[in-house]
Amino acid sequence: KVFIADSGSVSVEIAIKMAIQYQHARGETTRTRLLALERGYHGDTLGAMSVCDPKRGMHHLFSGILPEQFFVPAPQTRFEEEWNPDDIAPLRESLEKNHKSIAALILEPVVQGAGGMRFYHPEYLRQARALCDEFGVLLIADEIATGFGRSGKLFACEYAGISPDIMCVGKAITGGYMTLAATLATTEVAETISRGEAGCFMHGPTFMANPLACRVACASLDLLMENNWKEQVSGIEQGLKTGLSRASELNGVADVRVLGAIGVIELKDPVDVKRLQPACVDRGIWVRPFAHNFYVMPPYIMRDGDLAFLTSNMVGALAQTLGE
Ligand SMILES: *Cc1c(COP(=O)(O)O)cnc(C)c1O
């Protein structure tokens, strides 16, 4: 069942409300809180902000009005590493201890975006799914950044072969032309909510499902399928790997990683944006670095030549800024 929303953050608010109404309808009235991962990012409205990383974000500015949620450390096993079974232990412990208060676990599947551009092992996601089932907790997958092919799969959950109970999509849904997002729920979640006290899901702002935005989304999704996104994304992945690899020779660089059409250069120190950004503009590219990461998520239609221009100038601008 699909519930249309007007931005990614709102789709997360909706997901949180769905999870709480679902638990309430099942008589689980103490399950009103969320469990989330450190390093996560889910948006800027109050409910969404409450499940973002509590240490590195702006939580302290809003303490007292943000709902208090449960957090576990971010997954540590990297995407390409061998799975470390200890990685899931904190999640199990938190669920064992707190499940009677938890409506849902919310996470970004496989790629933690704005909270650090981290790619973690899909086994974490597979085991998280199983733990949610064991403890009667819903799984909310925030695919706002990863959805529609970005990670190399149409949805990042496919890396783990799981499906969530609730899923948020946004960003690429309209290819960036208009604001639109959606919250998807299983029939079980939707029908349980509708059997509850309220009789329906309690959310209905005036301009949800703006018809023009929906038409743009349909056109954009048609293009995605017609253009053979899989080939486009794997071409970009190859181009990013080749183009960014030289950055790993720089002393100031901690890590270079690529997954699907996401390329990240992680620095040892926070990026000096005031110097790096003008250096990029001088070279004819526009990139927005933040914290330790100098990263790009190119549009799928980008041609090989443009991608090579982008990556070589990223490395060049970085070398210049680092004085290497
Ligand atoms: C961008 C993003 C959001 C918020 O979406 P907005 O449309 O900016 O409100 C939520 N979750 C993730 C993972 C995102 O990348």
Q: pLDDT (tens digit, 9 = 90+) per residue, 128-145?
A: 999 999 999 999 999 999
Residue 183 banded pLDDT, cuts 50, 70, 90: very high
Q: Which two tokens stand for residue 123?
A: 């086994």
Mean pLDDT value across the chain = 96
- Degrees (nearest 5) of the Cα angle 170, 105, 66? 80
Range of the domain at 260: 229-322
Residues 274 and 141 in one domain: no
pLDDT (average), residues 192-213: 93
- Degrees (nearest 5) of the Cα angle 59, 61, 62? 70
Q: Indicate whether 63 pLDDT > 90.
A: no
The residue among 159, 192, 223 that closes a domain is 223
pLDDT (average), residues 253-277: 97
Residue-wise pLDDT tens digits, 240-258: 999 999 999 999 999 999 9
Domain with residue 36: its CATH number is 3.40.640.10
| Cβ-contact 313, 284 below 8 angstroms | yes
Residues whose CB is less than 8 angstroms from the CB of residue 4 and which lie 6 or more positions away in sequence, other chains included: 180, 181, 182, 208, 209, 214
- Predicted confidence at residue 182, as pLDDT, reads 98
Q: For ligand 1, atom 10, which residue shows the shortest CA distance? A: 42
Cα of 324 vs centre of ligand 1, distance in Å, is 35
Residues 79 and 59 in one domain: yes
Residues 219 and 235 in one domain: no
The residue among 204, 223, 242 that closes a domain is 223
The residue among 183, 198, 223 that closes a domain is 223
- Predicted confidence at residue 60, as pLDDT, reads 81
Residues 239 and 313 in one domain: yes
Q: Indicate whether 57 pLDDT > 80.
A: no
Residues whose CB is less than 8 angstroms from the CB of residue 323 and which lie 6 or more positions away in sequence, other chains included: none
Nearest to 16 by CA among 125, 102, 112, 128: 102
Residues 136 and 77 in one domain: yes
Residue-wise pLDDT tens digits, 31-54: 999 999 999 999 999 999 999 999
Domain with residue 233: its CATH number is 3.90.1150.10
Q: Which residues line ligand 1 (CB under 6 A)?
A: 7-9, 12, 41-43, 108, 113-114, 142, 144-145, 170-171, 181
Residues 28 and 153 in one domain: yes
Report the percent of the chain where pLDDT is more than 90: 95
Residues 175 and 311 in one domain: no
Residues 234 and 219 in one domain: no
Residues 73 and 149 in one domain: yes
Cα of 11 vs centre of ligand 1, distance in Å, is 9
Residues 94 and 48 in one domain: yes
Residues 52 and 78 in one domain: yes
Residues 143 and 163 in one domain: yes
List beta partners, residue 2: 184
Cα of 203 vs centre of ligand 1, distance in Å, is 19
Q: Indicate whether 58 pLDDT > 80.
A: no
**Residue 229: other Cβ atoms inside 10 A:** 20
Number of domain units in the chain: 2
d(CA 219, CA 173): 10
